[in-house]
Amino acid sequence: MNRAQRERLILEIVSSQPVRTQAELVRALRRRGLEVTQATISRDIKRLGLVKVPDERGQYRYAPPQGLQQSSSPGARAQLVAAFREFVTAVDWGEGLVLVKTLAGRANAVAAAIDEVRMPEIAGTVAGDDTILVVVRRPEDRQAVVRALGQLLE
């Protein structure tokens, strides 16, 4: 499992269950078959920008940064797949950005579908008439985003 996959798993874990310490997170990852060290988790937490927030009992737990806390709405993935199959003509990339080409006048709809899925690797989109710039959070996320979006064309 590469770092991007591990970080997605960490986000999934802290979003779905209370994780109060790095040791708890290490145990949760090990239960899912991933052998990691506390030092690795510490670096991942810093890179992901996880924060400690109080739960309903006043105890602190890890949570994604504010912008990542919302999960995608029901059906968002299906809408994205449909938008890609109907309107997208190509996915390409440049320095730190991903470029999505669409049919004329369809970029806004596709960009909205990308934003609605709320992929943790994507900071946001900017749509023109037939082109969308997808801004990734970290340069190392670019290839994963290109692959994920490119697979929607298949």
Q: Are residues 86 and 147 in the same domain?
A: yes
Query: 24, 52, 68 — which closes off a domain?
Result: 68
Would you say residue 66 has pLDDT above 60? no
Q: Are residues 25 and 92 in the same domain?
A: no
Whole-number pLDDT of residue 140: 85
Q: Are residues 43 and 99 in the same domain?
A: no
Q: Are residues 38 and 60 in the same domain?
A: yes
Would you say residue 67 has pLDDT above 60? no
Q: Collapsing DSSP states into helix, strand and coil, what is residue 10?
A: helix
Structure-token pair, residue 10? 């960490």
Query: 68, 98, 116 — which closes off a domain?
Result: 68
For the chain, the helix, strand and coil percentages under 3-state DSSP, each to the nearest 5: 50, 20, 30
Whole-number pLDDT of residue 102: 94
Q: Are residues 83 and 141 in the same domain?
A: yes
**Structural domain of 36:** 3-68
Which helix (H) or strand (E) covers residue 13, if one does?
Answer: helix 3-16
What mean pLDDT is predicted for residues 11-21? 89
What mean pLDDT is predicted for residues 94-121? 88
What mean pLDDT is predicted for residues 40-52? 86
Q: Please give the Cα distance from 50 to 53 (Å, whole number).
A: 9
Whole-number pLDDT of residue 127: 93
Query: 68, 99, 124 — which closes off a domain?
Result: 68
Q: Are residues 61 and 87 in the same domain?
A: no
The residue ranking higher by pLDDT, 17 or 70, is 17
The total number of structural domains that make up the chain: 2
Q: Are residues 59 and 90 in the same domain?
A: no
> Which CATH number belongs to the domain containing residue 120 in this structure?
3.30.1360.40
Would you say residue 98 has pLDDT above 80? yes
Q: Are residues 80 and 133 in the same domain?
A: yes
Task: Pick left, alpha or beta for residue 54 (phi over 0 → left; psi -120 to 50 → alpha; otherwise beta).
Answer: beta
Query: Under 8 Å CB-to-CB from 12, ≥6 apart: which residues?
Result: none
Q: Please give the Cα distance from 139 to 97 (Å, whole number).
A: 8
